[in-house]
Chains A and B, each alone.
Chain A
Amino acid sequence: MALYNDTVMEHFMNPRNVGELENPDGTGTYGSPVCGDMMQIQIQVENDIITDAKFKTFGCGSAIASSSMATSMIVGKTIDEALAISNKEIIDELGGLPPVKVHCSVLADHAIKSAIYDYAQKNGKTYAGLEGFDPNAEEDEHDHDIIED
């Protein structure tokens, strides 16, 4: 019996890509400790391909596991491919999460977009996947107001 499946536990126990890059091309953060989850993602970009990614996360098991999975998924991908990754894909790769965890703990897609946004701003680039994206639009779907059963 466990709270999470084996894949989630494996990524939680042995998270990939933990840490910070020395000279990141883009940094993005999302969430806040007040909400219980906060994630920072840094990326290294070469010729529009993400060559490295590191994260640091304050949060529960699923927040850490999804950070680990998300950073693993974007390394080697083009910026456009990384921008197309949704929370659902991250959760699917993890083999699913308890429903109650889906909304509050998976901040990764927003954090990835924020890191790419930062990279785009610094390098004067535009990407279709960033259209309408506001890195400061906090807590949009980050709703804790779930009714107790």
Chain B
Amino acid sequence: MRQVYLDYSATTPVKEEVLKEMLPYFTENFGNPSSLYTKGLESKEAVDKAREQVANLIGATPKEIFFTGCGSESDNWAVFGAAEALKDKGNHIITTKIEHHAMLHSCEFLEKKGYKVTYLDVESDGMVKPEALEAAITDDTILISVMMVNNEIGTIEPIKELVQIAKKHKILFHTDAVQALANVPIDVKDLGVDLLSMSAHKIYGPKGIGALYMRKGLRLPNFIHGGGQEMGRRAGTENLPSIVGFGKAAELAQENLDSHIEHCRELRDYLVERITGEIPDTFVNGTMEARHPGNANITFKYIEGESILLLLDYKGVSVSTGSACSSKSLKPSHVLDALGVPVEMIHGTVRFTVGDFTTKEDIDYTVDVLKEIVEKLRLLSPVNSEKGW
């Protein structure tokens, strides 16, 4: 049976070139980068190279890149570090309702510690309004964190504009760029962000490795304490093969950025066009104007997302859903809720994300089986366009 992977925003396969680069660092090139003999220095050199490759992808200098265990650690470091460093200056943090749980749950934790957090609303198209940010700023605001690209609906937030507001008020700005990295062009100097979170496994690199960009001149308290790795800022023996893999993935992403974006956008637009054109009572969530090139988030009215997911899986197609039934928390998507999508429709929402290995045939196959699946589930459903909800 045909296997179609349409969940590139969940994770991506490691590219062959990346794996090839990584493999020697598991076996013969295993030296500890902190060791002073040749074997260690060679490893150190490999880490430095990767740091440069990652820095290049976002227009940073290598000294501004700190490898972490994952995107979530980067987010945690940024928010807890800023909260700790600036606690004498204020206790107010501004973020949005559509952030990843790595940010939301970190902020909720800080609220329990006495910090005040404002969760900005978004417009119905998923965009954060700069005026809303401006209005939320108080004398106590110490950090603003807005994600660059939303993981569910793919909206590209107006980071540059938001940073300008932050700068006017001299407030630190962090952005979670885990979904943005290698999917939209990023230039940290042009954007003016102070902190930016990244992850390797969303860009055809390995899992278990992330990075935090920390602007030169800024020093947050350490999050992982121990040895002097990562220029004394993040302890723990370097995850050497994964760092090398992240570097290679970043290099490839930079080389192929334009063609990657064009490939994804073309297939994503074709998917959206076919689904919304051929399956009635469907709609796209989030703006199509400023959007992750591979993301399609579509609501299928009158049916439930986990059922769609299961039947697609049975046909070899992998997707994800905003339905409560598929989440461990049994809560429907907080992102779609923030957009004002009615809860009953959130349950019927599916996220498709295409990537470098997706083909037009994959899309055609997916839409063909999807049509049958939606029809079958609608026959099963006690709600429909005539009866209503």
Contact = CB atoms under 8 A, between A and B. Distances in A.
B121 to A, nearest CB: 21
Contact of B304 (A29, A40, A58, A100): A58
A13 interface: yes
Interface in A13-47: 13, 15, 18, 29, 32-34, 36-40
Given A38-B383, A59-B325, A63-B304, 8 more contacts: A4-B310, A13-B314, A39-B382, A63-B325, A100-B330, A104-B325, A144-B324, A146-B330
Interface residues of A, number: 33
Contacts of B343: 33-34
Contacts of B306: 60-61
B307 A60 contact: yes
Contacts of B382: 29, 38-40, 56-58
Interface of B: 302-307, 310-311, 314, 323-326, 328-332, 342-344, 347, 379-383, 389
Contact of A104 (B302, B303, B330, B380): B330
21 contacts: A9-B310, A15-B380, A18-B379, A18-B380, A33-B347, A33-B389, A36-B324, A37-B304, A56-B380, A56-B381, A57-B381, A58-B304, A58-B382, A59-B325, A60-B306, A60-B307, A60-B323, A61-B307, A64-B307, A144-B331, A146-B329
Contacts of A12: 307, 310
A148 B347 contact: no
B326 A60 contact: yes
A97 to B, nearest CB: 12
Given A3-B310, A58-B302, A64 B380 contact: yes
B237 to A, nearest CB: 29
A71 interface: no
Contacts of B307: 12, 59-61, 64
A149 interface: yes
Contacts of A146: 329-330
Contacts of A144: 324, 330-331
Contacts of A39: 382
Contacts of A59: 304, 307, 325
Nearest to A41: B382
Contacts of A40: 382
Contact of B381 (A29, A58, A101, A148): A58
Contact of A58 (B303, B329, B330, B332): B303
Nearest to A56: B382
